[in-house]
């Protein structure tokens, strides 16, 4: 069974807080009046939303750009060695990262800083006493820290506000600890550690990057300046950011009114949430690229999410894989593959447990994640059996061109079957994403009653369909 079916679905809590800021221009009671003219939509929603988002994001983008410029202007000799002290790039990254954190979270920055500092202490102690268990020790620390903050130390609203940045920090600490355990990297100095965990390009919105990739990016920023390809990547990400924010905040509510059919309204609300997620992903791409992260050997190719594979999915497996590519890689390498020697079932359980704990003690996320895990499992075995019975390319993943199936993916019946499964995936996405709205309790996180109320309004239809599919898959 492919580990890709056990990826994370909803991974950016911070997007709800961000969208709450930009949701002031949404139509809160559409039933009271008809759809407004498009010109009025532009003037009353699109322009104010983009303006407010620009006001919030510009300082962070500027700090990322200044960070990259500072390293490059520091200069290097003919051998590519920097003239500046080795600690300067990392402390510069950490200082700008701290400024970015304060600009968004203000006093709540203390929770991120405390976790980061304690993380280094834990990492240093485990490295000196039991290096091979550094990953496990760090994982235990992160789980303990999250649970204590969630239940005891921090007010619910404050913790919900910083949870997105906390997820990124937790992934960095755990990934670094496991890399040290496996001797892929050595124990970093304090300055390089701070530069990594508080890197200005990733500290708020992500994406997760490994310590190895961070150190390479710092060196590249020193030796490589700006390029036309870099500029095109930044412009592309900014344009997609604006498009996704506009669709999420303005267009979905304008196109589908609250008076519409309930499943259509459910699809609208779920799509609005998905586009708010894409908004955060492209913000992450922009900030990371401006800071000089994401350069491969040939291009600026950082990709956080692939919306086209989510909005028009072949299967739910494709959705969970393309929802957040860096987190997909992290879960695969630091959870699933680490636990796989103990059995696939245990590895799957720990993968979803890790994803749920990263998001905090939240029934809503846990319900969606474990539902999605069961959905993708059922879809995988059902389509795998159908693929063998009909000898056709109708599995959850697109076959390679040289596959042994008699009926290839270009066959009309195969195309129709895959389209039907794609439509079924869209049905499930509308159902699972329904509860991620901008209701009053979104600032503190949703409780169990909110989730169950939303699903019960649709008669738990998606769960019943999957249960029926599972029974049928077992019988054939």
What residues act catalytically? 359
Cβ 287 vs Cβ 245: under 8 Å: no
Cβ 121 vs Cβ 100: under 8 Å: no
Using alpha carbons, list the distances in angstroms from residue 408 to 90, 115, 249, 379, 455: 52, 52, 41, 20, 37
Cβ 294 vs Cβ 300: under 8 Å: yes
């Amino acid at each position: 069974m492919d580990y890709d079916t056990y990826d994370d679905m909803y991974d950016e809590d911070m997007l709800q807080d961000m969208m709450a800021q930009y949701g002031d221009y949404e139509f809160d009671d559409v039933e009271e009046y008809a759809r407004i003219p498009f010109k009025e939509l532009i003037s009353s929603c699109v322009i104010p939303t983009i303006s407010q988002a620009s006001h919030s994001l510009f300082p962070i983008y500027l700090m990322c750009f200044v960070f990259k410029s500072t390293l490059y202007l520091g200069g290097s000799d003919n051998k590519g060695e920097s003239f500046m002290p080795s600690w300067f790039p990392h402390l510069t990254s950490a200082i700008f990262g701290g400024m970015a954190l304060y600009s968004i979270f203000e006093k709540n920055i203390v929770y991120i800083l405390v976790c980061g500092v304690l993380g280094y202490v834990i990492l240093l102690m485990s490295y000196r006493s039991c290096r091979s268990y550094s990953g496990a020790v760090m994982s235990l620390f992160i789980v303990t820290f999250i649970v204590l903050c969630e239940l005891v130390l921090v007010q619910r609203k404050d913790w919900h506000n910083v949870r997105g940045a906390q997820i990124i920090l937790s992934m960095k600490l755990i990934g670094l600890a496991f890399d040290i355990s496996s001797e892929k990297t050595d124990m970093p100095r304090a300055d390089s550690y701070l530069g990594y965990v508080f890197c200005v390009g990733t500290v708020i919105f992500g994406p997760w990057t490994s310590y190895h990739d961070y150190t390479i990016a710092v060196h590249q920023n020193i030796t490589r300046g700006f390029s036309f390809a870099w500029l095109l990547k930044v412009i592309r990400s900014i344009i997609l950011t604006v498009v996704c924010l506009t669709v999420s905040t303005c267009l979905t509510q304008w196109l589908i009114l609250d008076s519409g059919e309930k499943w259509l309204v459910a699809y609208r609300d779920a799509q609005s949430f998905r586009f708010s997620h894409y908004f955060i992903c492209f913000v992450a791409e922009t900030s990371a690229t401006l800071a000089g992260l994401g350069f491969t050997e040939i291009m600026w190719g950082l990709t956080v999410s692939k919306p086209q594979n989510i909005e028009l999915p072949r299967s739910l497996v494709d959705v969970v894989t393309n929802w957040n590519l860096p987190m997909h890689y992290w879960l695969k390498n630091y959870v699933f593959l680490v636990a796989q020697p103990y059995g696939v079932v245990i590895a799957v359980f720990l993968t979803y447990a890790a994803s749920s704990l990263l998001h905090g003690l939240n029934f809503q996320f846990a319900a969606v994640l474990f539902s999605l895990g069961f959905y993708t499992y059922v879809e995988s075995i059902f389509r795998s059996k159908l693929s063998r019975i009909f000898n056709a390319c109708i599995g959850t993943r697109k076959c390679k061109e040289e596959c042994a199936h008699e009926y290839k993916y270009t066959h009309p019946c195969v195309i129709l079957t895959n389209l039907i499964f794609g439509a079924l995936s869209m049905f499930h996405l509308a159902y699972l994403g329904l509860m991620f709205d901008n209701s009053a309790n979104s600032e503190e996180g949703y409780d169990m009653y909110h989730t169950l109320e939303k699903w019960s309004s649709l008669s738990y239809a998606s769960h019943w369909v999957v249960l029926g599919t599972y029974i049928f898959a077992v019988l054939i």
